[in-house]
Structure 1
Amino acid sequence: MTSSRPPGWARACKAVGDTPHDWVFPRMAAVVHHAGAGTTAAGLRAGVPAVTVPMYTDQPFWARRVTELGTGPAPVPLRQLTADRLAAAIREAVSVAAYRERARDLADRIRGEDGAAPVLAWLEQMWLGRSGRVCPLADRAVARPTKGQSTV
């Protein structure tokens, strides 16, 4: 019989397959994640503190935002990750009441937003302009080939 746990994992850890963030995150005391944009958004919507472990590209930015928003401790960059540093960050995330309170408040605000409405209004203004006519930029952005003309 083989174990589903990687070598060295504590018996208290359980590996699971794909699990939707919006289902599992709200059930946690805190979440530990890489701070990708989508995972960060899911964590903020869940309303629980986050410990971020950024690795590359935009992840350091989103990890800093979690801290700036007051929903988790300072990031633990992957290059500096140790069991002790991760444990300390998790302890801080679950024991500082301000993280929990701020995470819940922010999640309530996010749930109350219609994030698509302002984007749609901006697009409509850019497309139609103030006069209600299609703006010149929109005409240039939409290629309308004539019969027999290549679009490439």
Structure 2
Amino acid sequence: MGAGAGLGDDILVLDEAPHDWLFPRMAAVVHHGGTGTTSGALVSGRPQMICPFLGDQLFWARRMEQVGVAPAGQPQSRLSPEGLAQALGRAVSDEALAARATDLGALVRAEDGVTAAVGALERHLAPSLL
């Protein structure tokens, strides 16, 4: 049996999908809160719902809530159908989350991150190398 066996005809199971293509097409991005997935969701300009389970994922869930692009995280250790449904409902219907995600996504897409990172390193490290 395949990974999607028994899930129903309306569920598509993928081994992987390109975030840059998929996320902008979603009402909200539900994910585990890894750094790459969180940044991909930010770039997409879509609200997020994060279900963290370890390490920095808990940080990113809190941070995305703080910046206004996600409801409170739903840690997998305490995840319930009710909590999941409530958070997902807010992620797809809260106009303030959607507007903030759109605005923050535009800011992230406009930034030249590599140049900014090199500049920060030069400012902080260069004086100590002289």
| Shorter-chain TM-score above 0.5 | yes
Partner of 1:29: 27
Q: 59, 82, 85: which is aligned to 1:84?
A: 82
Task: Tell me the residue number matched to 1:95.
Answer: 93
Alignment partners' CA distance in 2, 1:77 and 1:85: 10
Larger radius of gyration: 1
How far 1:14 sits from its partner (Å)?
A: 1.5
**Structure 2 Cα separation of the partners of residues 100 and 10 of structure 1:** 30
Q: What is the TM-score with the length of structure 1 in the denominator?
A: 0.77
Q: How much has 1:3 moved relative to structure 2?
A: 5.7
Shift of 1:41: 0.5
Q: TM-score, normalised by structure 2?
A: 0.89
Residue identity matched to 2:44: A
How many residues matched?
130
Highest relative contact order (Cα 8 Å, sep 6+), 1 or 2?
A: 2
- In 2, Cα distance between equivalents of 1:72 and 1:127: 35
Question: Partner of 1:122 in structure 2?
Answer: 120
- Offset from partner CA, 1:94-123 (integer Å, 9 cap, x none): 111011100000001111111122321233
- Indicate the RMSD between aligned Cα atoms, in angstroms: 1.9
Deviation at 1:86, TM superposition (A): 1.2
* Distance in 2, Cα, partners of 1:126 & 1:70: 30
In the TM superposition, 1:1-150 aligns within 5 A as 2=1, 4-7=3-6, 9=7, 11-125=9-123, 128-129=126-127, 134-135=129-130
Of Structure 1 and Structure 2, the greater helix share is in 2
Once the two structures are TM-superposed, the CA of residue 84 in structure 1 deviates from its matched residue by 2.2
Which runs of no fewer than 5 residues in structure 2 stay unpaired?
A: none
Aligned counterparts of 2:27 and 2:98: Cα–Cα separation in 1:
9
Q: Which residue of 2 aligns with 1:150?
A: none
Q: Which sections of structure 1, spanning at least 5 residues, go unmatched?
A: 136-152
Cα distance in 2 for partners of 1:128, 1:112 equals 26
Deviation at 1:11, TM superposition (A): 4.3
